[in-house]
Amino acid sequence: MAGISVVIIAQVFSRYVLGSSISWSEELARYLMIWMALVGASVAVRQGAHVGVTLLVERLGRKMRPWVLLLGKAVIAVFLFVMIREGVTLGTFFATQKSPAMEISMLWAYSGFFVAGIFMIVHLLHLVFGDLEQLRKK
């Protein structure tokens, strides 16, 4: 977020005070925002802060609830593996393409899906092992 703020403030200063625009600032801010959202999603996985519908889980008995939550985490893991696979596919497909303004490989923009997916899988595994430990103690 700090990087986005610095880039946008520099762009505004350059455009309105110096009378000349920075050609690559909007593109960099866009890629930083994508990375921020994806890495932020991995932080939300770690903290269990993603939105969830708990109506069904709350109505289940205490014995079924942990198993349904583990099933939900398994579904999330499948989605994350697809996200990682598709991130790698997109990254390799667009690796030779250059971004319009900064002229860097588009691999940098698309690799956020792979990196964030790996982070989310690691955090999800940590949560699953914690859940399994609690089930073992019961």
Rg of the chain over all Cα atoms, to the nearest angstrom? 20
Q: What is the pLDDT of residues 86-124, one digit of tens each?
A: 999 999 999 999 999 999 999 999 999 999 999 999 999
Q: Is the pLDDT of residue 3 over 90?
A: yes
Q: Is the pLDDT of residue 59 over 90?
A: no
Our count of domains for the chain comes to 1
**Position 26: which residue type?**
E
Q: What is the pLDDT of residues 71-89, one digit of tens each?
A: 999 999 999 999 999 999 9
Host domain of residue 110: 2-137
Residue/partner pairs of 21-30 with CB below 8 Å, 24 or more apart: 23/101, 24/101, 24/102, 26/101, 27/99, 27/100, 27/101, 27/102, 28/102, 29/4
